[in-house]
């Protein structure tokens, strides 16, 4: 199964947007399933349903940090190289969807920033673009990682 499809299915199975994308790449991170789920949980709904940066984008940034940041040598060059990668992936998402901001992506859906998670119903999925945004973020990250040689050209690699 490709990571794009996995991210979509993760969201439709009840994971938040951050978890949906992060878990599609969890096998590359060195984290256990439980660690990956907990680490990515706060990023749903644009971070805690505050509707800031889309959780799918935030998850992509976390994957990039885990794969490309050398924590043993946190130099300015290392930070700058990671920032450049993050900006490239965010730019691709912005180009595909118009923005990386959750509230803008959800405009017109009636989504609010109350801290209560919404019940996942057929109506919820029908009015939200989130499953597609998760799939799109995963596709963008998968393509980027393939370009960087982290994943094979098809982008799938091993799956957990």
- Whole-number Å distance between alpha carbons of 52 and 100: 8
Q: What is the pLDDT of residues 11-46, one digit of tens each?
A: 999 999 999 999 999 999 999 999 999 999 999 999
Alpha helix positions (H), 2-75:
3-12, 17-24, 33-40, 55-68
Phi/psi of residue 35, nearest 5 degrees: -60, -45
pLDDT at 160: 36
pLDDT at 8 over 90: yes
pLDDT at 111: 87
pLDDT at 49 over 70: yes
Q: What is the pLDDT of residues 95-130, one digit of tens each?
A: 999 999 999 999 998 888 889 888 999 999 999 999
Q: What is the pLDDT of residues 58-90, one digit of tens each?
A: 999 999 999 999 989 889 999 999 999 999 999
pLDDT at 128: 94
- What does pTM read for this prediction? 0.93
Alpha helix positions (H), 14-117:
17-24, 33-40, 55-68, 76-97, 102-105
pLDDT interval class at 154 (50, 70, 90) = low
Residue 155 CB coordination number (10 Å): 19
- Whole-number Å distance between alpha carbons of 64 and 69: 8
């Amino acid at each position: 199964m490709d990571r794009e499809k996995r991210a979509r299915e993760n969201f439709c199975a009840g994971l938040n947007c951050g978890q949906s994308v992060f878990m599609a790449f969890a096998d590359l991170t060195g984290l256990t399933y439980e660690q990956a789920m907990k680490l990515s949980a706060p990023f749903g709904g644009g971070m805690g349903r505050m509707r800031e940066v889309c959780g799918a984008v935030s998850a992509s940034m976390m994957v990039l940090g885990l794969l490309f940041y050398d924590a043993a040598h946190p130099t300015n060059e290392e930070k700058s190289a990671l920032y450049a990668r993050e900006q490239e992936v965010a730019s691709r998402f912005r180009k595909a969807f118009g923005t990386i901001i959750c509230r803008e992506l959800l405009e017109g859906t009636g989504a609010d920033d109350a801290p209560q998670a919404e019940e996942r119903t057929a109506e919820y999925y029908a009015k939200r673009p989130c499953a597609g945004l998760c799939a799109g973020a995963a596709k963008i990250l998968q393509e980027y990682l393939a370009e960087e040689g982290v994943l094979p050209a098809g982008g799938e690699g091993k799956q957990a």
